[in-house]
Structure 1
């Protein structure tokens, strides 16, 4: 993390939770993050005349003020008309978030943390087949992957995380944290300034975490100290002890830097610029969807140009293996123009196995029913004997 101007500090452990503090050599003074809490559901405009209703606990803003756009909806899950007496059902305000990332002034940007990254994953090849191959259903051709949904848990639902955040010490100069659950990197969180981190530290319990992270948390497996022990034979003087302690800390930092580089920054995926404000750029990124290895989606803000570019903000979400497989399937289909025969060849399987894989991944509705029935029947019969 040295390249990003971040220094890895000694971790703190609580049962299966390991928090690794990240501090900055120099805080970023020109860009500051603040939190705007929401007590009501939100309507989010994701563009292309597409909207969705969600409960979003907070947004990250810089001196952002409410624009006063309001609407009402009933409590619960029903939207009811007025009764015969003209009385409306009990309601609560709904905020209209015009964009997941929106400039609200020349120097102010409001964005919804992690929802920006998750929306990028949900929109992955959302339009479906571009050519009306005969295997795809009319629904797939007309509506693509709509509706598209994925599951996630809040940090409050990850056992031990809330306690760890409450108990652990915030280091002087801390600007971020790596969250490990059962020694799997669950999330990375970086902000521009130590004051921002102190204000936003507790918001991790409102963040989204994947199914794998939630399952690991439920195991309640205590994690061990991964740091290399001090070599007692090399210590003769206080200076030797200091040198050994520094060596131990460098080894610890190098380990986490390597994990971050391999899992987040060197995933071979792609990044999309969402907004630009002065010399600050907001990106969301997707991995290469490689099955069998960690894959993170996320968002980041960088400031500066060229070699002077610095990482100001980062938030990641670790995908579960099933989510990785779905992303891999969709990416391979799109790369092969949604042709089943070419996609099957690219995956090293026959066409029937590909169809059944699509069904298991939740994409069976994209195929014509007779195509599904044909390959299901073939799978039940098994391989033909000669």
Structure 2
């Protein structure tokens, strides 16, 4: 377990529009030797793995390309991804699909294949899918299921583990007010990232290595994934208050004193933001999983401790050897997703034995089954166990 650091980043002045608050993250100097480029997929759904036996299927609005070494000094740019669209429709098929849609037929979903989520496309170039690394890490949490064939588990669970496992998320365009906020908010000098709040709940932290990279990637936030709590907050929270520290003016008689008072106010805001508003992210412990080595950088994904009493974030990062993040993107889990992660961790730690797991949670077997039912995991148990539970058997 380790913590998450935002080393090398400073907090800027917050901007608020409606229920959306965006706090710029600034660098005094860019991360040398690393650049991040947007790469639009041109498709709606990606199948990762072979087309016959897909390993992962999900909505993939865009991909990132990370370059390092000598080529990383080039400017950020955007490209269209076309070479991976195997079996792309011919001109005649595309025209026919357009005619069908014009006649009222439902729109077709564009499908393209990727051999893996992280793919090296050149000697110093890596293509990966933003947040899908993090979500895959969460979905694969103890995915194999019980290691011992305890009689309480269903045959399907013992044979296939947790497959299929699904989780819901929302696109940024579905988060009320986010698109308008991204359109109107000012990108400040030196900005390499943003801490995004919706209804003053931390929705995501995005960090890039260079200010030009952030300018190129800023509009793609509406294509990112956000959790259920963020969607709900955007729907029901009217407006976030403007937070600011009072400016000390007593004793100020010249410009130098005014500059000092202004810097004192900015420092007070930075301390409040970093120690209070960012605490759900930076004060937690995480399990890091290295995914790819990129010279002096490493691509990681991380999972939280799944503490039900706090907000939990999953995410991914490109970290330099000294610990400074060149890239970071996080996703906040809903209460239900946190409960599922917590129960799975407890079950795995107890060897998937129901009574031992119940004891670790300070409850009994019936209480554990109640929690599993609340978390949407009751289908993992045998039907006769569930029938006795519904019948009120104290020890189903």
The answer to whether the superposition gives a TM-score over 0.5 is: yes
Shift in Å, 1:108: 0.7
Q: How does 1:1-386 map to 2 (within 5 A)?
A: 4-40=7-43, 41-45=45-49, 50-62=54-66, 67-68=83-84, 70-71=86-87, 94-259=111-276, 262-303=279-320, 305=321, 308-378=322-392
Shift in Å, 1:71: 2.7
Shifted more, 264-273 versus 7-16: the winner is 264-273
Shift in Å, 1:239: 2.3
- 2-structure distance, mates of 1:199, 1:155: 17
Shift in Å, 1:73: 8.4
- 1-structure distance, mates of 2:372, 2:346: 12
Shift in Å, 1:248: 1.2
Secondary structure of the residue aligned to 2:30 is: coil
Shifted more, 168-177 versus 368-377: the winner is 368-377
Shifted more, 324-333 versus 27-36: the winner is 27-36
- In structure 2, runs of 5+ residues without a counterpart are 68-78, 91-106
- 1-structure distance, mates of 2:37, 2:307: 35
Listed one character per residue, the Cα deviations across residues 81-103 of structure 1 (whole Å, up to 9, x for unaligned) are: xxxxxxxxx98764321111111
Secondary structure of the residue aligned to 2:250 is: helix
- In structure 1, runs of 5+ residues without a counterpart are 75-89
- 2-structure distance, mates of 1:92, 1:363: 30
TM-score calculated relative to the size of structure 1: 0.88
Listed one character per residue, the Cα deviations across residues 296-316 of structure 1 (whole Å, up to 9, x for unaligned) are: 00000012x2xx332100000
Shift in Å, 1:68: 4.4
Secondary structure of the residue aligned to 1:196 is: helix
Aligned-CA RMSD value: 2.4
Listed one character per residue, the Cα deviations across residues 146-175 of structure 1 (whole Å, up to 9, x for unaligned) are: 000011001111111110000010001110
Listed one character per residue, the Cα deviations across residues 46-74 of structure 1 (whole Å, up to 9, x for unaligned) are: 9xx65233331110014787544603589
Aligned residues: 361
Listed one character per residue, the Cα deviations across residues 187-236 of structure 1 (whole Å, up to 9, x for unaligned) are: 00000001101100000000000000000001232111222211332433
- 1-structure distance, mates of 2:6, 2:165: 37
